[in-house]
């Protein structure tokens, strides 16, 4: 850009501002002279924008929690869950086809599925009694292999996780964060003992906090992953489980993780095929691939955003119709004023600009107040309902953009109608 052009553009924009500034001030004066009507006109925009921001922030918070939980499961992992039969007769029918999930299934998967980095079976046991007595809900016992910590991304906040040196059936335990608080309160649990059913376990570690799903997701049962006691797999099977529970599966979960170059989708299909054949189509297991769940949730989030945009358009459309109605009434009220301005030399573009500026003041102010109200509402819902809410820049930008667009679109017709009035007729209008 040349030096000569730069000052010329500055002069141009300066003149534009000088033309608009008096009309902007006049527009504010006109709206202030009719305070109640201006406020009622803005309410449609305020509540529409507030609803959009609040709904999108609540939805974004819920989606973010779900996605974070799925990512915690591990996008390189495959999880197999045994399905519990709802009643005895159903279980009898299933057992005619399948003996349930077993360690033999683990060996078959390890042998036939390529590029597995680590594997861990899981035995979940519901304890009948426990010492010290839990202050809240009874923790669940997870019998797992030492490799589980790496597969599940389990961080240990104190002590350590058990390893191969501890033995497959050693009486050691790692407490989840909630389980440690429930059993020992604020005391350090490391080195203490916990009695699960009839077996004492020495606490060697405390796991860090983990996210938990509130409902079943893709075959994964809802479980507070913080209220768990981790013990070696054979210790859970031989020391804790009731020997009379012969009707239960030998194990009830398998965790697999792939090497970086492994094809997750292909491996998931292979695991499903192996278990389908081994269990003769009994339908007693679910194969969950977190990477597939993550992709599905991301698609759901995009659809949700589209729906929110549609809701925003509808709610703000109603507000826009109200603005157009008020501005048309304003044209009738100010017909003589328009005639006087045209008689003293105002152009049609000046009249159009004046009414558009007033409409933009209404929608912009309503949009800003609506954004503030939406943020407050979303935070209030988060505090009172305990939901996670995230106010995103995109939701604020969308709501504000739509509110301004509504002001332009619905302000054009009243402005053009005002500009098209015949000056002579306008001057004689009563």
In order along its 430 residues, the chain shows pLDDT tens digits of 455 555 666 555 555 555 666 767 776 777 777 778 778 878 878 888 888 788 778 777 777 777 777 767 777 888 898 888 777 787 788 778 888 889 999 999 999 988 899 999 999 988 889 999 999 899 999 999 999 998 888 899 999 999 988 888 899 999 999 999 999 998 999 999 999 988 999 999 999 988 766 556 666 666 788 999 999 999 988 888 766 555 567 888 999 998 888 788 888 889 999 999 988 888 888 888 888 877 887 787 778 777 776 776 677 777 778 778 877 877 777 777 777 777 777 777 877 877 888 888 888 888 888 889 988 888 888 788 777 788 878 778 877 787 778 777 877 878 787 778 777 666 665 5
For residue 178 the two structure tokens come to: 């909630």
pLDDT confidence of residue 68: 72
Q: How far apart are CA 278 and CA 121, in angstroms?
A: 17
Backbone angles phi, psi at 181, to 5 degrees: -65, -40
- CA 253/CA 365 separation, integer angstroms: 56
DSSP state of 164: G
Distance CA 179, CA 181 (A): 5
Contact 81/408 with Cβ under 8 angstroms?
no
Query: Encoding tokens for residue 406?
Result: 């509504």
pLDDT at 120: 92
- Dmax over CA atoms of the chain, in Å, equals 102
Distance CA 40, CA 84 (A): 58
Cα–Cα distances in angstroms (integers) from residue 259 to residues 105, 159, 295, in the given order: 20, 28, 20
Q: What is the pLDDT of residue 247?
A: 56
Sign of the CA dihedral running 364, 365, 369, 370: negative
Helices 290-333, 335-343: axis angle to 10 degrees equals 80
Q: What's residue 8's pLDDT?
A: 61
The pLDDT, as a whole number, for residue 218 is 60
CA–CA separation, 106 vs 349, rounded Å?
Answer: 78
Does this model's pTM top 0.85? My answer is no
């Amino acid at each position: 850009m040349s030096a000569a052009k730069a000052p010329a553009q500055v002069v141009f924009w300066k003149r534009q501002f000088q033309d608009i500034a008096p009309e902007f001030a006049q527009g504010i004066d006109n709206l202030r002279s009719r305070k109640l009507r201006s406020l009622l006109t803005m309410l449609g925009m305020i509540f529409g924008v507030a609803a959009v921001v609040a709904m999108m922030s609540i939805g974004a918070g819920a989606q973010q929690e779900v996605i974070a939980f799925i990512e915690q499961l591990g996008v390189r992992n495959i999880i197999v869950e045994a399905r519990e039969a709802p009643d005895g007769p159903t279980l009898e029918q299933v057992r005619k086809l399948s003996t349930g999930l077993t360690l033999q299934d683990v060996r078959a998967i390890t042998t036939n599925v390529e590029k597995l980095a680590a594997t861990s079976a899981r035995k979940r046991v519901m304890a009948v009694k426990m010492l010290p007595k839990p202050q809240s809900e009874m923790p669940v016992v997870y019998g797992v292999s030492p490799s589980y910590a790496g597969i599940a991304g389990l961080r240990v906040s104190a002590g350590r996780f058990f390893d191969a040196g501890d033995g497959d059936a050693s009486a050691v335990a790692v407490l989840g964060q909630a389980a440690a608080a429930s059993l020992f309160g604020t005391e350090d649990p490391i080195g203490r003992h916990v009695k699960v059913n009839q077996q004492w376990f020495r606490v060697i570690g405390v796991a860090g906090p983990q996210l938990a799903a509130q409902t079943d997701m893709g075959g994964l049962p809802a479980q507070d992953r913080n209220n768990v006691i981790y013990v070696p797999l054979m210790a859970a099977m031989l020391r804790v489980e009731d020997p009379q529970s012969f009707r239960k599966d030998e194990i009830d979960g398998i965790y697999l993780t792939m090497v970086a170059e492994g094809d997750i989708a292909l491996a998931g299909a292979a695991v499903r095929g192996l278990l389908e054949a081994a269990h003769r189509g009994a339908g007693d297991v679910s194969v969950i691939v977190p990477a597939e769940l993550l992709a599905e949730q991301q698609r759901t989030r995009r659809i949700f955003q589209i729906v929110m945009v549609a809701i925003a358009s509808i709610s703000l459309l109603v507000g826009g119709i109200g603005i157009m109605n008020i501005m048309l009434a304003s044209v009738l009220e100010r017909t003589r004023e328009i005639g006087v301005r045209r008689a003293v030399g105002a152009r049609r573009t000046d009249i159009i600009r004046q009414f558009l500026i007033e409409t933009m003041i209404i929608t912009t102010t309503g949009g800003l107040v609506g954004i503030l109200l939406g943020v407050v509402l979303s935070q209030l819902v988060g505090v009172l309902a305990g939901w996670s809410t995230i106010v995103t820049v995109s939701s604020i930008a969308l709501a504000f953009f739509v509110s301004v667009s509504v002001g332009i679109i619905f302000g054009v017709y009243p402005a053009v109608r005002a500009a098209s009035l015949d000056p002579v007729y306008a001057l004689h209008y009563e």
